[in-house]
Amino acid sequence: MTERSLVLIKPDGVQRLLVGRVISRFEERGLKLVGLKLLQVSRELAERHYAVHADKPFFPGLVAFMTSSPLVAMAIEGPNAIGVVRTMVGATRPWEAAPGTIRGDLALEVAQNLIHASDGAETAEAELALWFPEGTLAYTREIDRWALAPGG
Ligand code: IDP
Ligand code: MG
């Protein structure tokens, strides 16, 4: 099933000049970028994005970090994209993330784990609406004509 996921390259990824490499991983996998922007996040947006963690001890630090410098927001589309992207991202605690995953290859600290990805269909829909209120793009790549053939 074609799905869309919200992916953030957090401020550490921008600071560490890893934006291109992270985007490349998704492109190389065959996933399609349907939204992409660099932005400095307001406190309100960061708090809404991480509202589920509002009671956690790390919440204030997380919001401060997410608003500290620009980050990249992406909408990514593809077959089973939500689960595929989460698998590519790896475990929350980078020291537990498998080699070959983005966190397992490029991160070490849980507070600077480089990337966010939607964890389910409902959160993906809510997060895409939050980060891309202007909407995302629909377009067909040449390869989509084959991938989306009947039964494909
Ligand atoms: P996820 O990003 O893999 O979905 P969540 O459990 O949803 O992980 O946590 C959201 C974010 O909060 C994490 O990506 C990480 O940046 C931060 N975080 C989670 N646990 C801790 C912690 O114990 N200390 C500091 N930051 C944390
Ligand atoms: Mg999460």
Q: How much is the average pLDDT of 37-57?
A: 98
CB neighbourhood size of 32 (10 A) = 20
Q: What's the pLDDT tens digit per position in 106-145?
A: 999 999 999 999 999 999 999 999 999 999 999 999 888 8
Q: How far apart are CA 5 and CA 33, in angstroms?
A: 10
109 CA to middle of ligand 1, Å? 10
* Chain-centroid distance, C-alpha 51: 17
Q: Which residues of 110-137 are buried (b: 16+ CB within 10 A; e: fewer)?
A: eeebbbbbbbeeeebebbbeebbeeebe
Active-site positions read 116
111 lines ligand 1 (CB under 6 A): yes
Torsion angle defined by CA atoms of residues 97, 19, 127 and 98, in that order, rounded to the nearest 10 degrees: -10
User: All domains of the chain, ordered by start, with CATH?
Assistant: 2-143 (3.30.70.141)
Q: Is the CB of 113 under 6 A from ligand 1?
A: yes
pLDDT at position 50 is 98
Task: Report the nearest-CA residue for atom 25 of ligand 1.
Answer: 111
117, 49 Cβ separation under 8 angstroms? no
